[in-house]
Chain A
Amino acid sequence: MRIAVTGIGVASGLGYGKAAFLQGLFETRGVFSELTRHGREPAGGEPPFVGVELDEPPNVLPARLARTATLSSRVAMAVLQEAWRDAGLDQVDPERIGLVVGSSNPMSREQALAAQRYADKLEFVPPRHGHMFLSSDIAGLCTSVVPIRGFSQSVDAASASGSVAVIQAMDAVRSGRVDVCIALGALQDLSGYDLHAMRSLGVMGGADHAARPGEACRPMDLAHNGFIYGEASAALVLMRKDLSMSHKSYGDLIGAGHVADGSRGPEPNSEGQVRAALNALAQAGLTAKQIDFVNGHATGTPQGDFEECRTYHSLELHHARINATKSIVGHGMSAAGALELAAVLLQIKEGRLHPTRNLENPIDESFDWVKAEPVSHEIRHTLKFSFGFGGINTALVIAAP
């Protein structure tokens, strides 16, 4: 069964909404700077963290709810509302609509701040803290405001959470459980603790780029030295193709692969990546030869980029154009898979591929990278990768509508 994407809502360093996102992607507007959100201060003597922070989300919640909602939840509501209106979901029976939120430790920063604030006076911990830091609170808040009555849940697949949310939503529509399912990649609000741990783990870059933050994020470039965090969130409305005829469609999801490779930590695994891609292609009834555009996971960690290039080699993707959305907006962590799928769909609609920022000397010249300039490209079949810590590999195949 083909599944159409009929609504998109996005938030990234480029702004709120599709228009700002699309314009920023093609202009590769610089959005990287020192992280200044409270709770992200580096340890004394350590260089500041570099990345992307969102503007305050638009006020879509009643004040009474907004004050009890975390940043992740408030941003989720903003992207959900945009996607909801885009798809005209007020016309659909609420019991036929589902919601899958992809999230991974989504409120870590605010929870750490709360733990500090109440460390020596636990008696006064506000009761709302008993539910508002649960990942399920994002779906809880969303369904308390928006009429979604089919089902709601959150799924955690680390940095593949957004992509796994899409895959779960596809399954929910295919199985007939619902006719419409919204996949939402939630903002992962990293704390200073998380940032230090990621830096210590050797996966996060930017420690040498405090003076030139715009040059820190460089997926697939020889000078890459780790991913750069970028706050983000995105919502996608998935609908049964046969029911979506009266709706506009950005593109169709025609194949998905999701496999475990047996790694526990951050180690990438090309064999798992290839298996995910082959599963997705088989489901789509396509071969890799028919893929004309690849949107990589491409985080900018040396090991991850090299391993992903091994995957492109195994699949013989030398003919396809390839770009990396993280080069422009940073690594959205649990939101990345959903945000980057939104980027793919908007590029299909535009018939153009966005540049890959800072890709000056590709680690492998045998591929057809989109470098500093956007290119016109009639995109028919896209392969989109997303991977997560814990040995999680996903691939999606997207067809032009």
Chain B
Amino acid sequence: MGSPLDNTEIINILIEEIRETVPELEGQPISASDSMVDLGVNSIERSEVILAAMERLDLKIPMVQMHGPKNIQELADLLLVKSAG
């Protein structure tokens, strides 16, 4: 990633990965306040989404540190904090 990350960029990446992982969500709006659980993303798929996003952001964060966020916004916030070191 060239330029410094911002929160919106990470949210967009997460939403893209959610759509990639669960193609059935096509046509359904997804916002930062949605949680993946409420969107019907199962636990393996949630890990897939987070790892795929981390790969795109070139962030190497142990998955055990990724528990806690309640929605996409909070997940993006956590990723942003971790990316800042």
A interface list, Cβ under 8 A from B:
62-64, 67, 121, 123-128
Contact = CB atoms under 8 A, between A and B. Distances in A.
B55 A128 contact: no
A64 B52 contact: no
A42 B20 CA distance: 32
A127 B47 contact: yes
Contact of B55 (A63, A67, A121): A121
Interface of B: 20-24, 44, 47-48, 51-52, 54-55, 60
A62 B22 CA distance: 10
Given A63-B23, A124-B55, 10 more contacts: A64-B21, A64-B22, A64-B23, A121-B55, A123-B54, A124-B52, A124-B54, A126-B48, A127-B44, A127-B51
Interface residue SS majority, chain B: helix
A64 B24 contact: yes
A167 to B, nearest CB: 35
A165 B51 CA distance: 37
A116 B22 CA distance: 25
A67 B21 CA distance: 8
Contacts of A67: 20-21, 23
Contacts of B60: 123
A128 to B, nearest CB: 6
Contacts of A125: 51
B44 A62 contact: no
Contacts of B52: 124, 126
Nearest to A131: B44
A128 B44 CA distance: 7
5 contacts: A64-B23, A67-B21, A124-B51, A125-B51, A126-B48
A127 B51 CA distance: 9
B51 A128 contact: no
